[in-house]
């Protein structure tokens, strides 16, 4: 009996074939691929940290955070490193973008999820996703050569470079992201809940605004936050259309400079390695990184904390 069963088992014993070796190597290979991106990210953060720390040995952190004058690229006697104007510029553009993108994005999502018939949705949703893939330099030129001239027919005194034109176009750029993510969140609301509301005599609009939007609110807000975090990090459009004038202002018709467009300006100019202006690139980069990181954490927190159980 015993012999017999062992003999049978033997047929299932592993054989070390070439195929098997190959099979066992695949997970290691895949792990290595995954590590590449993790290590790269760590490397970036590491460099950012190192250069930022070295920058703050030369410039006081307090002056950086509270200063209202940013002249990093001037000669050394006139240099001033108050980051607030860059933050103000960034927030101004982001605020304008939010005013454009949130209502339009949400309205598009409501239309797609609640009103559009399935055929329309099948066509429009992929188009939205294609829009999300348009290179931002295209949007930048759109801002400079179309939106700005258009705005200047209404406000003839406005300069060629201004925050509002860039902000509007950044907003247009993030509409697809907000619409698409909000639509996902709204489509995830079960049909049975909508039916309950219809069966009580709610109109389509009441169902959309008073049932579906509240039920999908966590996903919708997360989409806003993600969209705005992209607006904060957006570079090309603001570099092309918003100007390069660091300024503490809330006037959207002014020319301003954002954190990102400062980095472009500084990185494309020639500043000797190790100079303070060079270090400023990293300090601003770090500031930007902290902003977008916080926004992303906020988005995650919101969608987890307020997640609906249906």
List residues near other proteins by CB under 8 A: 117, 190, 192-193, 195-203, 206, 210-211, 214-215, 308-310
The minimum distance between CB 199 and other proteins, in angstroms, equals: 4
The minimum distance between CB 181 and other proteins, in angstroms, equals: 19
The minimum distance between CB 121 and other proteins, in angstroms, equals: 13
The minimum distance between CB 204 and other proteins, in angstroms, equals: 9
- 195/251 with CB nearer other proteins: 195
8 A C-beta contact, residue 22 and residue 247: no
- 73/202 with CB nearer other proteins: 202
- 76/309 with CB nearer other proteins: 309
- 43/190 with CB nearer other proteins: 190
- 135/201 with CB nearer other proteins: 201
The minimum distance between CB 190 and other proteins, in angstroms, equals: 7
What whole-number distance in Å separates Cα of residue 202 and Cα of residue 71? 58
8 A C-beta contact, residue 257 and residue 245: yes
- 45/196 with CB nearer other proteins: 196
The minimum distance between CB 205 and other proteins, in angstroms, equals: 11
């Amino acid at each position: 009996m015993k012999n017999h069963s062992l003999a049978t088992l033997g047929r299932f014993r592993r054989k070390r074939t070439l195929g098997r070796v190959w099979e066992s190597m695949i997970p290691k290979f895949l792990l290595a691929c995954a590590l590449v991106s993790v290590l790269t990210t760590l490397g970036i953060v590491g460099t950012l940290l190192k250069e930022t720390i070295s920058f703050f040995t030369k410039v006081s952190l307090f002056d950086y955070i509270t200063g209202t004058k940013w002249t990093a690229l001037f000669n050394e006697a006139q240099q001033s490193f108050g980051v607030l104007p860059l933050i103000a510029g960034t927030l101004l553009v982001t605020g304008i973008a939010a005013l454009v993108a949130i209502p339009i994005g949400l309205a598009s999502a409501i239309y797609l999820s609640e009103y559009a018939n399935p055929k329309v949705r099948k066509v429009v949703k992929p188009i939205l996703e294609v829009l999300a893939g348009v290179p931002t330099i295209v949007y930048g030129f759109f801002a400079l050569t179309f939106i700005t001239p258009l705005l200047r027919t209404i406000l003839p005194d406005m300069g060629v470079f201004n925050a509002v034109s860039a902000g509007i176009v950044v907003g247009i750029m993030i509409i697809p992201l907000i619409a698409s993510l909000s639509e996902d969140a709204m489509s995830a609301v079960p049909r049975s809940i909508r039916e309950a509301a219809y069966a009580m005599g709610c109109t389509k609009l009441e169902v959309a605004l008073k049932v579906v939007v509240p039920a999908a609110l966590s996903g919708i807000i997360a989409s806003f936050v993600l969209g705005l975090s992209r607006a904060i990090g957006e570079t090309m459009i603001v570099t092309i259309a918003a100007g390069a004038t660091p300024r503490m202002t809330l006037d959207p018709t002014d020319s301003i400079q954002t954190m990102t467009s400062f980095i472009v300006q500084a990185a494309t100019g020639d500043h000797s390695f190790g100079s303070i202006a060079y270090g400023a690139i990293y300090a601003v980069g770090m500031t930007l990184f902290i902003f977008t990181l916080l926004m992303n954490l906020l988005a995650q927190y919101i969608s987890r904390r307020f997640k609906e159980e249906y």
